[in-house]
A = this chain, B = another copy of it.
Amino acid sequence: MQTRPIRADARRNRDLLVTAAMAVIAEEGPDASLNEIARRAGVGPGTLYRHFPTRDALLAAVSEGRLARLRARADELAEAMPPGEALVAWLRLLVVHAMTDRGLGARMMVAAPSSAGVDCWAMLRDAAERVLGPAQRDGSVRADVEAADLVELAAGIAQGAADAGRAERLLMLTLDGLRLAGGRAEGFSPRS
């Protein structure tokens, strides 16, 4: 499959759209008007639809750079501190990311990859594994925890919390667990 050269005006319009989308979404959140974004980019609505057939495709394009940065940060943290600490520090970043732009981040953590073009879900799982693996080998985290668990929990915390302070508290509760340190009550373990 040979790829055709991309026309310069098409490439330029795509960039204009993503830039405009970042600005409008920062102001109005992920449900911002698509016509408004096209207007701000200086193109017709049809051009927006040609480049991004669904809203999620556009949102994914907006998120792509942030996700790449989040993955890079995972590597940096894993190198800079003990595995347990690196995991916690990265989870904090993940929750903050999920809360940015009125929940754009969290929305992309749940979105179906099919409609998106950029597979946000895979990028996040990939990033999570870089801090999760060491923490498990180190013995800080149970071996049965998966990268997907971390991503979904972070997305959930971001959406369930009213503000950043509450999110931090929920994250700590999740890490420590709600049960009493030490004795595990009987009915309190998963029923199989």
Contacts and interface: CB of A to CB of B under 8 A. Distances in A.
Interface of A: 81-82, 84-88, 106, 109-110, 135, 138-142, 145, 149, 152-162, 166, 169-170, 172-181, 183-190
Contacts of A190: 172, 176
Nearest to A168: B190
A168 to B, nearest CB: 8
Nearest to A145: B178
Given A84-B188, A177-B179, A185-B84, A152 B161 contact: yes
A169 B192 CA distance: 11
Contacts of A187: 81-82, 84-86, 88, 140
Tally of this chain's copies: 2
A138 B185 contact: yes
A180 B149 contact: no
Contacts of A141: 178-180
Nearest to A151: B160
A191 to B, nearest CB: 9
12 contacts: A82-B187, A84-B187, A139-B183, A140-B188, A141-B178, A142-B180, A149-B178, A153-B170, A154-B160, A156-B161, A173-B174, A174-B177
